[in-house]
Amino acid sequence: MLELFSQAIHQVLTIDVLVMMLIGVTGGMVIGALPGLTATMGVAILVPFTFTLDPLTSLAMLVGIYVGAIQGGSIPAVLIRTPGTPASAATTFDGYPLALKGEGDKALASALFASFFGGIFGTIVLAFSAPLISTVALKFSAAEYCTFGIFGLSVIISLAEGSMIKGLISGFVGLLLATVGIDRVTGVPRFTFNSIELMSGISFIPVMIGLFAVSEIFHGAEKIVQIERISFALKRLLPTYEEFKHIFKTLLRSSLIGTFVGALPGAGGDIAAFISYNEAKRFSKHPEEFGHGEINGIAASESANNAVCEGAMIPLLTLGVPGDSVTAVLIGAFMIQGLQPGPLLFVRNADLVYAIFVAFFIANILNYIVALVGARIFARAVSIPRYLLLPAIMLLCIIGAYSIRNSFFDVWVMLLFGVIGYGMQKLGYPIGPVVLALILGPMVESEFRRAMIMYQKNYMIFFTRPISLLFFILACISIFGPPLRTLLRARKERIRS
């Protein structure tokens, strides 16, 4: 193994590979920072252009785009409450409130370092533990995926922000939206109203852009006369030693969660970020500070979604099964080069596999360097007067929504949910549960129905399979833990008084 790593390092540390990787990282960060332009889109666009490159150079550039786009999404999430990619949606919960307090440099420092930490952690796991994690993920059936989705939905309780009823209502709305489109099991159209555009369901990205970005634009337009600015100076982009100690446990836990979730086919950075955010809040001694600028919330989201990048490569390389949508596109990149991901790849092209491990490690280092330099450029946007900034953000939102399917229908969806999100803010309803339910709803429904078909409507299958039971127990802890903790605190206060 050491010999293979030594050869891989020499292969990757060449001018051609490093230059293409740097181009990929920079391009990926720009793509990630633009609302609606996802890592999947960036990789998909450039895959055909890698045909003339050698396998290592082409894959190294695509790896750079992948990690760059995921990290780039955190910059607008912190500065303008607009997640550049779905994976950064949870970062807005604490990143933007911290920026509003004038501590944008602290928020960005935490986000960028957490991204770097999660990427490096995921790379180490990818390099040394790929077969083990893939073996666990391979045991997942419909029952495990269903309870995993239920565990993810239990995060809604933590995102309720004070009113559990309002949080549950928001989550219920998201689940209703998830039912629109053709039924995955029966193929019957549901709630499509004879609209061709709704046959494939409501696209998640326009909804996310509308709820998070456009609603904030409407909210900011109220104060446009005052030309209000979010003002802070980027004095530093590295966390202090005290901040590092404060978030270290969260970084480790969230990176581990992100790597594991990434190794589950069909999961992604958005799911990992929400789950990690919930776990960080659950383990915190001061959960009430989450949603108001707690850096542990930023660290949880960003370390998890970046660890997913490497985690998603585990089933791709070892089983030939993509872990998320980006790695699904990367299969095409492998095939263009005449390579077939799977167990035989370690036998026939072991040198290339280890070179990919090294490429991920170096890409994360380059990514962090580019982020430290580029963050200052992006951060200048917050010093622009609101009456100039809001139209520019709106234009980016429209471009991002339209570019998904080249359809103005998605733009109208984005605007509609912008109005809905604005109304929810005014009425005190949290936005996070809507997004989370829209992500996980289809998976929970389809996997539950698959499990019922596979096991002849035997509901006990969810409790007799160990992994499924574990996720169910975790969901119960997540749901009932906060109320019980609140009751216990109230009881202790009564005893003291």
Annotate 60-85 with DSSP letters as a single string.
HHHHHHHHHHHHHTHHHHHHSS--SS
The answer to whether 363 and 370 are in contact (CB under 8 A) is no
Higher pLDDT, 323 or 118: 118
List phi, psi (to 5°) of 241: -60, -40
Max CA distance (Å), the chain:
75
Q: What is the pLDDT of residues 162-171, one digit of tens each?
A: 677 887 888 8
Q: How large is the average pLDDT for residues 335-360? A: 78
Is pLDDT of 349 > 80?
Answer: no
Q: What is the pLDDT of residues 177-213, one digit of tens each?
A: 988 988 877 888 888 888 888 888 887 778 877 887 7
- Residue 189, helix vs strand vs coil: strand
Query: Of 74, 119, 121, nearest to 99 (Cα)?
Result: 74
Q: How large is the average pLDDT for residues 73-81? A: 80
Q: How large is the average pLDDT for residues 311-324? A: 74
SS3 content of the chain, % helix, strand, coil (to 5): 80, 0, 20
In the structure, what pLDDT confidence band is assigned to residue 229 with cuts at 50, 70 and 90? Answer: very low
In the structure, what pLDDT confidence band is assigned to residue 419 with cuts at 50, 70 and 90? Answer: very high
Q: How large is the average pLDDT for residues 333-341? A: 77
The answer to whether 343 and 318 are in contact (CB under 8 A) is yes
Q: How large is the average pLDDT for residues 156-165? A: 65
Query: Of 307, 315, 327, nearest to 71 (Cα)?
Result: 307
Q: Is 141 exposed, middle or buried (0-12, 13-18, 19+ CB in 10 A)?
A: middle
Angle at 384 between CA 387 and CA 37, to 5 degrees: 90
Unique residue bearing structure tokens 């969901």: 475
Structure tokens at 481: 């833990």
Q: How large is the average pLDDT for residues 394-410? A: 80
In the structure, what pLDDT confidence band is assigned to residue 36 with cuts at 50, 70 and 90? Answer: low
Q: What is the pLDDT of residues 14-26, one digit of tens each?
A: 888 889 889 888 8
E strand or H helix that includes residue 128: helix 104-138
pLDDT at 339: 79
pLDDT at 416: 92
Q: Lowest-confidence range among 136-140, 268-272, 388-392?
A: 136-140
Unique residue bearing structure tokens 């490159």: 53
pLDDT at 228: 43
The answer to whether 319 and 343 are in contact (CB under 8 A) is yes
Is pLDDT of 459 > 50?
Answer: yes
Q: Lowest-confidence range among 103-117, 119-133, 157-171, 388-402?
A: 157-171
In the structure, what pLDDT confidence band is assigned to residue 330 with cuts at 50, 70 and 90? Answer: confident
Angle at 464 between CA 458 and CA 470, to 5 degrees: 125
From CA 378, how far away is CA 387, in angstroms rounded? 18
The rounded mean pLDDT for the chain is 79
Phi-psi map region of 324: left, alpha, beta (phi>0 left; psi -120 to 50 alpha): beta
